[in-house]
Structure 1
Amino acid sequence: MTTVEPAAGTEEFDLGRLLAERGAERYELHARHLNHQLPRMLHTIGFDKVYERAEGAYFWDADGDDYLDMLAGFGVMGLGRHHPVVRKALHDVLDARLADLTRFDCQPLPGLLAEKLLTHSPHLDRVFFGNSGTEAVETALKFARYATGRPRVLYCDHAFHGLTTGSLSVNGEPGFRDGFAPLLPDTAVPLGDLDSLARELKKGDVAALVVEPIQGKGVHEAPPGYLRAAQELLHRHRALLIVDEVQTGLGRTGDFYAYQHEDGVEPDLVCVAKALSGGYVPVGATLGREWIFKKVYSSMDRVLVHSASFGSNAQAMAAGLAVLSVMENEQIVAGARATGSLLKSRLAALVDKYELLSDVRGRGLMIGIEFGRPKSLKLRSRWTMLQAARKGLFAQMVVVPLLQRHRILTQVSGDHLEVIKLIPPLVIGEREVDRFVEAFTAVMDDAHGGGGLMWDFGKTLVKQAVANR
């Protein structure tokens, strides 16, 4: 096998040296060349950390201090960072030098990954591989509209399904949609409201309902029985059920898919992404029924009617196969169920102790912690001040000390929401539960005790919110 030598007078690319020489410029480079508001926001809330390395559920900074990750890259790092099995699979596939992406052959890895993925939803038959969750949703929208011959897709209030134009059309958060109209002819219905769903279906132009079994924004679970009843309604009107498992799938909620917590639910299309990547190579998948795929790809003339240039690439497929292998061999789903139950019960026990804490909800390792209006006069006046400036500031006041004082990374679960969402790597255990609960308890003690530092930071957030109006 021949190798190509670098031309005389040129140097080989050295990534390590480049990072050593210029890694310290990371925030400046981002501000200059990328989204300039991101470094500004991170600096304002004190999240402008410099993480040097990561492993499993932890980051480390230059001083060697560890940080517990309760965010998992918005759910991408289901197995934590740099899982050795996934890492090895990627080395192996690169070393294999496969004839990848020729476009006019059938490589083995996509078929093998599809076969393995479909074993977890045996009522489905085929898979389309793209590069992200939003592509998985776009695929489902296109397939549903073509298969039914109808234009309209229903979605739920406060849903999040992606930010490309099609997926944005079924996004229930106005803040993401504002300024990007016109979008697709789609309509929102309240999560759990079967009467609203029935009214829309009677109009006869609905292709599908797309729904998250547990909404990422606010961590709101579909009411018991809703998915099955919605499925029956949809099928009665010859419409399809699309379930978005981009964040809730692959063990996150303590079952392989979140829709499987409810008996009798068999979606027509299922969207998967995030954790299937192993945190390395972007990958999305749309699983569907045979008749839908056969209708879309109805002839050889339509063989490329829906495709993706990098879809089914060897690195993504190898990562997905390795992820599913690890999930099976390390019993990741059962672990997420047990650890999630422990974490949720420990946090729920604090609701009666702290008047600012109103609810703990979720399934498995997808947990929402909601804050609410306190009863005592002193705390109520401070709460009112924050709410008047901008809803969601108290949750931000909790997230910041969790990182700055306790080195735990979390997130506020959506704009203007007083909810923290916990979606840690599924590999965490009792040690990480103890660390989080102890830190969260300390932050709550500080807030209820009138801790100066925390409420002083609240004043900073209020000033920032007022300035941005």
Structure 2
Amino acid sequence: MQEAAVLKTSSADEDRPFDVAALIAEREPERYALHTQHLNEMMVKVLQTIGYDVGFRRGHGQYLYDRQDVRYLDLLSGWGVFGVGRNHPTVRDALQSVLASDLPNLVQMDVPVLAALLAEKLLQHTPFLDKAFFCNSGAEAVEAAIKFARRTTNRPGVVYCDHAFHGLTYGALSLNGDAIFRDGFGETLPGCVRVPFNDLAALERALSTREIAAFIVEPIQGKGVNLPDDGYLAGAQALCRKYGTLFVADEIQTGLGRTGKFLAIEHWGVEPDMVLIAKALSGGHVPVGVVLAKKPIFDKVFSRMDKAVVHGSTFAKNDLAMAAGLATLEVIGSERLIEKAAATGARLISFFEGLTRRYEMVREVRGKGLMIGVEFGAPQSLKLRAAWSLLETVNTGLFCQLITIPLFKEHKILAQVAGHASHTIKLLPTMVMTDADCDWIERGFEATVAESHKVPGAVWSLGKTLADHALKARAAR
């Protein structure tokens, strides 16, 4: 009977045009119930617990709008996806142009023009590299880099750093420095070696075995916004050359202007054997990743005609993704977003450095351009220290939620911590922010941080509520 009802409904709707906007409007009130039933129920519980269940309905540039049409400033930008902002008209027009052109797309036994043009544009920014391999995500780019490095060097090992994040597929997961992502999923890839970030001596010990195919490193680590020492990346590159290891820069989050340079490696003048890019290259619409590499690497991997398809991905090089990438690069250049990110970032970093002098729990500010980490730490004054210690005993890093939740609820600023059990809040906003947006950020952080230094106070009442939730969750486990 139920199946018949479904069929009847489908038949009745046959003549009605398919309208996505109408479908969203009709079913939006069921958003959380649908996710609870069919998707990740725990994510819904998280949002409801911390009060983020406002139901965002639209986005434009750096702004989000909830079901009441209240405007929020987005400092997450989809973990760095929206470098040029949400729904940029240039990107949207490019995608509509592709759809209107009736392109053949994904013929497979052909080579598409748009992929060649995007490769050409990207490689103009990396004259020390020669070839591009397209895929669907940052994690796929990491997977490809592992395979390319092993094939090129005939070595099994890959070195990565403490606190690294390179993705959640199995190869990428094997290079993650945070155990929370790996626990419970069994053995990871063999041959993966972890070393401390900023420790050249440890890196050399690992490479000196001459069994390491690649050293894969984020120029600025996303989990914590950890910057390299001035000589670290150059020293790492020299060690890789010395021991025959490929040097791979994971620019998936740092690339495309985020740090005030097209690539973050430009701050330190290094030239890796491979560079990995994704996230912002999508324009926020169509997922895309790319490995930029030296020609000898491609010559090893794609060595003969029968090896032409030895590695690939069904949807790689699809016309929509390639158009999104080309349009994104056009926006970055025409709107001078790299220079804008550098200037806006300098202003915000200067502001946060001022907070470190005015508030004892604001310990350090790190970052370049619009990739900024604000680290909090234990206070010296007695009342604050007691309150801090109580939260830390319950859940390491819980204090940062006393900043991010009031920022969201009271100041309509969306931000989050830089990683599990972290004391650092990360700002990763779009590169199209204005001076007025910076004013908004400064007002919101100033007020929230000032309130967090008052005990007792509203912020610490929130802390007690969060601590109670954490204790109940621990008891349930």
Shorter-chain TM-score: what band?
Answer: over 0.9
Give the 3-state SS of the residue equivalent to 1:74 in structure 2.
helix
Alpha-carbon distance between aligned partners in 1 of 2:25 and 2:438, rounded to the nearest angstrom: 35
| Map of 1:291 onto structure 2 | 296
Question: Is 1:242 aligned to residue 243 of structure 2?
Answer: no
Alpha-carbon distance between aligned partners in 2 of 1:468 and 1:260, rounded to the nearest angstrom: 45
Contact 2:402 2:452 in 1 (8 A): no
After superposition, the C-alpha distances for 1:306-359 in whole angstroms (9 at most, x for unaligned) are 000000000000000001111111111000000000011011111111011101
**Among residues 193, 203, 208, which one is paired with 1:202 in the alignment?**
208
After superposition, the C-alpha distances for 1:250-304 in whole angstroms (9 at most, x for unaligned) are 00000000011012x1100110000000000000000000000111000111111
| Map of 1:137 onto structure 2 | 142
Task: Provide closer, same or farther for how the CA distance between residues 260 and 191 of structure 1 changes in structure 2, counting only shifts above 3 A.
Answer: same
Alpha-carbon distance between aligned partners in 1 of 2:95 and 2:251, rounded to the nearest angstrom: 25
* TM-score, normalisation: structure 2: 0.95
Q: RMSD value over aligned CA atoms?
A: 1.2
Alpha-carbon distance between aligned partners in 2 of 1:402 and 1:323, rounded to the nearest angstrom: 30
| Map of 2:89 onto structure 1 | 84
Contact 2:54 2:67 in 1 (8 A): no
Question: Is 1:311 aligned to residue 320 of structure 2?
Answer: no
Gaps of 5+ in 1: 1-5
| Map of 1:399 onto structure 2 | 404
| Map of 1:408 onto structure 2 | 413
| Map of 1:113 onto structure 2 | 118
Q: Which amino acid aligns with 2:143?
A: E
1:144-293 alignment to 2 at 5 Å? 144-184=149-189, 185-263=191-269, 265-293=270-298
Alpha-carbon distance between aligned partners in 2 of 1:464 and 1:215, rounded to the nearest angstrom: 30
| Map of 2:3 onto structure 1 | none
Alpha-carbon distance between aligned partners in 2 of 1:186 and 1:75, rounded to the nearest angstrom: 27
1:13-92 alignment to 2 at 5 Å? 13-92=18-97
The share of aligned pairs that are identical, in percent, is 49
Alpha-carbon distance between aligned partners in 1 of 2:246 and 2:291, rounded to the nearest angstrom: 14
The Cα of 1:451 is off from its aligned counterpart by 5.5
The Cα of 1:10 is off from its aligned counterpart by 4.0
Give the 3-state SS of the residue equivalent to 2:431 in structure 1.
coil
Aligned pairs, how many?
463
Q: Which amino acid aligns with 1:392?
A: G
Question: Is 1:381 aligned to residue 386 of structure 2?
Answer: yes
Alpha-carbon distance between aligned partners in 1 of 2:375 and 2:386, rounded to the nearest angstrom: 19
| Map of 2:4 onto structure 1 | none
Q: Which amino acid aligns with 1:74?
A: W
Alpha-carbon distance between aligned partners in 2 of 1:14 and 1:234, rounded to the nearest angstrom: 54
* TM-score, normalisation: structure 1: 0.97
The Cα of 1:450 is off from its aligned counterpart by 2.5
Alpha-carbon distance between aligned partners in 2 of 1:58 and 1:150, rounded to the nearest angstrom: 47
Alpha-carbon distance between aligned partners in 2 of 1:189 and 1:379, rounded to the nearest angstrom: 36
Contact 2:157 2:211 in 1 (8 A): yes
Gaps of 5+ in 2: 1-10
1:337-348 alignment to 2 at 5 Å? 337-348=342-353
Contact 2:175 2:192 in 1 (8 A): yes
The Cα of 1:49 is off from its aligned counterpart by 1.2
Q: Which amino acid aligns with 2:220?
A: I
